[in-house]
Amino acid sequence: MRETLIAISRRVKDAVQDLPPSFDRGLELGTGADGTPTSNIDQFAEDIILEYVEENDLPLNVLSEEAGALDRGHGRTLVIDPVDGTHNCILGIPMYSVSLAIGTSSLNDIEAGVVLNLENGDLFVAEKGHGATLNGRPLKVRSPDPRGCEVLVYMGRHAAVGTMDVVRRAARSRSLGCASLEMCMVAQGKFDAHYMNCDVYEKSIRVVDIAASALVLREAGGELVDLQGRRLDMPLDLANRSNFLAYGDVKVKEALL
Amino acid sequence: MRETLIAISRRVKDAVQDLPPSFDRGLELGTGADGTPTSNIDQFAEDIILEYVEENDLPLNVLSEEAGALDRGHGRTLVIDPVDGTHNCILGIPMYSVSLAIGTSSLNDIEAGVVLNLENGDLFVAEKGHGATLNGRPLKVRSPDPRGCEVLVYMGRHAAVGTMDVVRRAARSRSLGCASLEMCMVAQGKFDAHYMNCDVYEKSIRVVDIAASALVLREAGGELVDLQGRRLDMPLDLANRSNFLAYGDVKVKEALL
């Protein structure tokens, strides 16, 4: 299962790398199944993945950001974010990924997940019960520095004002605009937490964005909760959204929520 | 003058790239002349620059983050931030730079500036009255999208709560932790503004951080002001600090301040 996800992610990376400079990554093509604008690069990457699924007749349904839910008559579903961090990709900030996971009905039964950084090729892989790796090396979350934690926060027009409380409680904050890779950086022990607090439901996270990275984080010893502190679960659809705190060590949860 | 700065920046980049994996970039060596901790990588880069100045007997005084002000008996001063974005460098976020400028007494008489991205080699060069370039191509700021501007903001323990007003007025925000490169991204027309609002004076910006990037921005058609909207000037020392708004188009200043 993981090998299939790795193969798909590599095919996306190769194709994105081969794009001519004339390809307008940010061109808006319309509105995806999730209700957000579809950029040229999102559609391009999704097409490659769907083509792979068809060509190899993978025994999987598909849930993707742009195409929505494709019931192909199977028990398991391939959960896709073709490009997470689309605007970073357009702006040339080297933080955007393809994110792929396989599960049955919700975030908590995801069995395998892959996040591939499309800029530098960093490959995060997780299999439920078998740990998480970055480029083949095992990942482990870290314990926070007693001088204060380092946090990745969601920023944007709809970021709740309370976001600033978290920023000011942390020693250091960044906002990198790519939830999957930001969650993987917590799994990697580079940051203590990733926090999203939107005051508009339609702008908070979807399961397609984090299905893979949540497994990477949990398999590396971290946890993902809603802002009431409950273990986060989300059905495999595009309708449900949530705010979240992803953390490595439970002390971080206590300090930030 | 610009050729000297380019040569120095390239020497730093080559040396940093050649560092063995065993070199602990984040090791704290003590406190620099600016009162902040000196990391191993800061000291390493500064040593290379000071060595270059000595070896070539450059007719320049030096003002640097770690070493402070070195009066070498000349009229002009080389203003250095050996590594801007030190924590990005330590954390593996590919946004950190060496920043070099030459001036006489203040930010507003800087004659030449160079910012080199130490991760990907992007080279920003500006000469007063002669424009700014990225890798040899002329830079120009952009006009904001009427749907809302894209802003780089300073985040951290001492970020003022009012930062959130700017974030919520913008269409999109990032916080990348490297003022010099963030200002260059405004010069490049990738973002509309870079905003820093600290409520602790000692944590706001120093002239060494922005001497080069401010010239890059201004030569690309943008401007740098304090939070009262006055054109920002700062003496060439380590004592003075300031908050700021750097913007490409004056409409952005009107919208955000």
- Name the band, by pLDDT with cuts 50, 70 and 90, for residue B3: very high
**Predicted confidence (pLDDT) at residue A35 exceeds the cutoff of 90:** no
Handedness of CA A43, A47, A53, A54 (dihedral sign): positive
Using an 8 Å CB-CB cutoff, list chain B residues near A185.
91
Which residue does chain A place closest to B152, by CA atoms?
A175
- Hey, of A167, A172, A182, A198, which one would you mutate to test binding to chain B, going by the most B CBs within 10 A of its CB? A167
**Predicted confidence (pLDDT) at residue B92 exceeds the cutoff of 90:** no
Nearest to B227 by CA among B203, B240, B252, B245: B245
B149-180 pLDDT tens trace: 999 999 999 999 999 999 999 999 999 999 99
Query: Cβ contact (<8 Å) for A173 and B167?
Result: no
Query: Cβ contact (<8 Å) for A157 and B171?
Result: yes
Please state the domain extents for chain A: 2-138, 150-256
Write down the pTM of the prediction.
0.95
As a residue count, chain B comes to 257
Nearest to B223 by CA among B203, B194, B247: B247
- Name the band, by pLDDT with cuts 50, 70 and 90, for residue A104: very high
Q: CB of A184 within 8 A of CB of A124?
A: yes
CA A186 – CA A181 distance, rounded (Å): 9
The mean pLDDT value for A218-232 works out to 98
Prediction ipTM score: 0.93
Three-state SS across chain A? CHHHHHHHHHHHHHHHHCCCCCCCCCCEEEECCCCCEEEHHHHHHHHHHHHHHHHCCCCCEEEECCCEEECCCCCCEEEEEEEECHHHHHHCCCCCEEEEEEECCEHHHCCEEEEEECCCCCEEEEECCCCEEECCEECCCCCCCCCCCEEEECCCCCECCCHHHHHHHCCEEEECCCHHHHHHHHHCCCCCEEEECECCHHHCEEHHHHHHHHHHHHHCCCEEECCCCCECCCECCCCCEECEEEECCHHHHHHHC
- Name the band, by pLDDT with cuts 50, 70 and 90, for residue A92: confident
Residue at token pair 């078998």:
A130
CA B154 – CA B173 distance, rounded (Å): 10
Phi, psi of A61 (to 5 degrees): -75, 170
CATH for A150-256, options being 3.40.640.10, 3.40.50.960, 3.10.129.10, 3.40.190.80: 3.40.190.80
Phi, psi of A11 (to 5 degrees): -65, -40
CA A128 to chain centre: 16
Q: A-B interface: how many C-beta pairs under 8 angstroms? A: 86
CA B135 – CA B47 distance, rounded (Å): 26
Three-state DSSP state, B70: strand
Task: Give the list of residues 6+ apart from residue B235 with CB closer than 8 angstroms, or none.
Answer: B105, B106, B107, B207
Other beta carbons within 10 angstroms of residue A200's beta carbon come to 12
Three-state DSSP state, B91: helix
Instruction: Measure Cα distances from B156 to A9, B47, B151 in Å.
Output: 34, 28, 16
Query: Cβ contact (<8 Å) for A175 and B156?
Result: no
Q: Which of A156, A164, A176 sits opposite B172 (nearest CB)?
A: A156
- Name the band, by pLDDT with cuts 50, 70 and 90, for residue A75: very high
Using an 8 Å CB-CB cutoff, list chain B residues near A87.
172
Query: Cβ contact (<8 Å) for A190 and B91?
Result: yes
- Superfamily, domain B2-138: Fructose-1,6-Bisphosphatase, subunit A, domain 1 (3.30.540.10)
A41-67 pLDDT tens trace: 999 999 999 999 999 999 999 999 889
The mean pLDDT value for A137-155 works out to 95
CA B14 – CA A118 distance, rounded (Å): 25
B95-148 pLDDT tens trace: 999 999 999 999 999 999 999 999 999 999 999 999 999 999 999 999 999 889
pLDDT at position A165: 94
Using an 8 Å CB-CB cutoff, list chain A residues near B164.
159, 161, 163-164
Q: Which of A91, A92, A171 sits opposite B157 (nearest CB)?
A: A171
